[in-house]
Amino acid sequence: MNRRDVLAGTAVAAGGSLVAGKASARTARRQGANTRLRLAMIGVGMRGRVLLRELVRRDDVEVVGLCDLEQWTLDRALEQFIEANKPAPRLWTGSHESWREMLAAGGLDAVIIATPWEWHAPMAIGAMEAGIAVGCEVVAGVTLEDHWNVLRAQQRTNVPYMLLENVCFRRDVLAITRMVREGVFGEMIHLEGGYQHDLRDVKFNGGVVGQAYGGGVEFGERGWSEARWRTDHSVTRNGDLYPSHGIGPMAVWANIHRGNRFTRLTSYGSKARGLHDHVVARGGPDHPNARVNFQLGDVVTTSIACADGTTLRLTHDTNLPRPYSLGFRVQGQKGLWMDVNRSIYIEGESPEAHRWEPAQSWLDRYDHALWSQFAEQASGAGHGGMDFFIIHVFIEALKAGAAMPIDIYDAVAWSAITPLSEQSIANGNATVDFPDFTEGRWETARAWSF
């Protein structure tokens, strides 16, 4: 049996079924609980190296390949292996096709993709077609066609695919997840969240290698790191460009694809002022980038209807001065939690009627088992420990031959909000029907694995 056959056997069939679960259990027994996986990474820039740190520190993973166009980033990645006293991986670089050569060389159980967004879909498809499991950084694709293509590739190959959405594993988010499941809030009525993060010094820098944040107002070919590619999306696109940090936890709380699904979407984009103002303030009114017509609305809001009547609201706000916040609101029949004011109100249980109480005692009481068990290992990991968990659950699912915690249907639905929101805004804020990527499988109740 070749490596592709083994990995295909570890994948849970699309949609998850009892038969597939039994097949996965047989695979887990065949591979054994102490399986050591051979992984590679495509993209070891700022984000990639954070995830690489979690891989390098694990004893059940051997990172055998790294692929990137930038020698500087490869050199920084290799330093992690030296510090961990682990063998250096083989490097793949030199062209935009080097990743294909790495996949074709064989010997890989899985690949982590942490490249610019437009490469996620083709790289994931290429890996799955080579029988290599995929852990893909958000987003799953750029166009709606990308999302269907990734889905069809996974269905065709039956190779595991997971979207690496780390906010689902934030400690307070997981505590709220437990509270939702235990009925503390009652039936879900309305949910809010989003990506509200001042990215002006991410979208612009001075183009100096090694200085990713701020220091200038360059982007594109004159920028470096994310400014080289991410800012172009703000020039040409208007929609929720980064939905999964908000929609991921909300989809879990609303049981999307587990008896519920998104049905319709409507988006609005505000006027665009923030990026232009930033260029003028830092580079002057005569800087060439002051003449760029940025299309991305400074605040993009998206309303989503669900089959069970739950409503969701997403906010994308990355161009204006603001403290970081994902703006979560979980509102059920019995009360609500909001992360911005770190407060909660449960009718009949909160000390005073119509008054907030601090949420921390509730969060402590409902601390999720993952954090109770692995808090020490997560200490020091990226994004407050979330990056430990996103790698941990991916690796453990692969070793066990289990369903991916965030599966292919979750991945494409969460990520497809971007092109759908663009379509809504472009058509005068029209309501858009949400594709049923599951083709009816969403009606089958099944549990999340976390």
| Per-residue confidence in pLDDT tens, the chain, 450 aa | 333 343 333 333 333 332 233 233 333 433 555 689 999 999 999 999 999 999 999 999 999 999 999 999 999 999 999 999 999 999 999 999 999 999 999 999 999 999 999 999 999 999 999 999 999 999 999 999 999 999 999 999 999 999 999 999 999 999 999 999 999 999 999 999 999 999 999 999 999 999 999 999 999 999 999 999 999 999 999 999 999 999 999 999 999 999 999 999 999 999 999 999 999 999 999 999 999 999 999 999 999 999 999 999 999 999 999 999 999 999 999 999 999 999 999 999 999 999 999 999 999 999 999 999 999 999 989 899 999 999 999 999 999 999 999 999 999 999 999 999 999 999 999 999 999 999 999 999 889 999
Does 63 share its domain with 203?
A: no
Q: What is the distance between the alpha carbons of residues 155 and 261, in angstroms, rounded to a whole number?
A: 19
Phi, psi (deg, nearest 5) at residue 89:
-80, 170
**401 domain residue, yes or no:** no
Does 251 share its domain with 183?
A: yes
**381 domain residue, yes or no:** no
Q: What is the pLDDT at residue 20? A: 34
- Are 161 and 408 in contact by the 8 Å Cβ rule? The answer is yes
Record the tokens describing residue 181, joined without a space.
Answer: 């499941």
Q: What is the pLDDT at residue 24? A: 37
**396 domain residue, yes or no:** no
- Are 240 and 418 in contact by the 8 Å Cβ rule? The answer is yes
Q: What is the distance between the alpha carbons of residues 136 and 110, in angstroms, rounded to a whole number?
A: 10
**354 domain residue, yes or no:** yes
- Are 303 and 266 in contact by the 8 Å Cβ rule? The answer is yes
Does 120 share its domain with 227?
A: no
Does 134 share its domain with 46?
A: yes
Report pTM: 0.92
Q: What is the distance between the alpha carbons of residues 210 and 338, in angstroms, rounded to a whole number?
A: 37
Record the tokens describing residue 244, joined without a space.
Answer: 């999964």
Count of other CB atoms within 10 angstroms of residue 427 = 11
Q: Cβ-count burial of 168 within 10 angstroms (0-12 exposed, 13-18 middle, 19+ buried)?
A: buried
Q: Domain boundary residue among 165, 194, 217? A: 165
Q: What is the pLDDT at residue 198? A: 98
Which CATH number is 424's domain given?
3.30.360.10
**228 domain residue, yes or no:** yes
Q: What is the distance between the alpha carbons of residues 199 and 320, in angstroms, rounded to a whole number?
A: 8
Does 161 share its domain with 254?
A: no
Phi, psi (deg, nearest 5) at residue 96:
-70, -5
Cα separation of the two ends of the chain: 32
Does 278 share its domain with 317?
A: yes
Residue 409: name the closest of 290, 255, 264, 289 by CA: 255
- What is the secondary structure of 134-170 as a DSSP string? EEEPSPS-SSHHHHHHHHHHHHHH---EEE--GGGG-
SS3 assignment, position 226: helix
Does 154 share its domain with 124?
A: yes
Which CATH number is 94's domain given?
3.40.50.720
Domain count, the chain: 2
Does 137 share its domain with 245?
A: no
Record the tokens describing residue 285, joined without a space.
Answer: 């009114």
**12 domain residue, yes or no:** yes
Does 131 share its domain with 184?
A: no
**212 domain residue, yes or no:** yes
Q: What is the distance between the alpha carbons of residues 56 and 85, in angstroms, rounded to a whole number?
A: 10
Q: Domain boundary residue among 145, 165, 185? A: 165
Does 64 share its domain with 11?
A: yes
Burial 272-294 (b: 16+ CB within 10 A, else e): bebbbbbbeebbeeeeebbebeb
Does 112 share its domain with 247?
A: no
Q: Domain boundary residue among 149, 165, 181? A: 165
HSE-CB for 67 with a 13 A CA cutoff: 23
The residue range of the domain holding 204 is: 168-369+407-443
Q: What is the distance between the alpha carbons of residues 162 and 89, in angstroms, rounded to a whole number?
A: 23
**317 domain residue, yes or no:** yes
Does 151 share its domain with 188?
A: no
Q: What is the pLDDT at residue 259? A: 97
